[in-house]
């Protein structure tokens, strides 16, 4: 039996607020294979996308270091 991941995962609404983009933009990125890495909480129906917090923090750090 594998141990459940302790990684915190964010909803599209949470990510959109953190990155200051719309949820529609996140959806467009998912469909085009761009943007932050994500997974579906319910893969059989491809619903409930989730974003690992570590991925979002890495993007935030990258953006901060470029300014």
Tell me the pTM. 0.83
In a domain, 50, yes or no: yes
Predicted confidence band at 58 (pLDDT cuts at 50, 70, 90)? very high
Q: Pseudo-torsion of CA 31, 58, 10, 17, nearest 10°?
A: -80
pLDDT one-digit tens code per residue, 24-55: 999 999 999 999 999 999 999 999 999 999 99
In a domain, 1, yes or no: no
In a domain, 3, yes or no: no
Please count the structural domains in the chain.
Answer: 1
In a domain, 2, yes or no: no
The pLDDT value recorded for residue 7 is: 86
In a domain, 4, yes or no: no
Question: How far from 49 is each of 2, 34, 61, 65, CA to CA, in Å?
Answer: 22, 14, 22, 27
Which structural domain range is residue 41 located in? 9-66
């Amino acid at each position: 039996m594998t141990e459940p991941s302790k990684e915190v995962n964010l909803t599209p609404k949470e990510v959109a607020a953190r990155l200051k983009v719309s949820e529609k933009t996140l959806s467009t990125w998912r469909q085009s294979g761009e943007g932050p890495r994500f997974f579906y909480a319910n893969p059989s129906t491809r619903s409930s996308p989730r974003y690992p917090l570590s991925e979002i923090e890495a993007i935030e750090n990258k953006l901060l270091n470029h300014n």
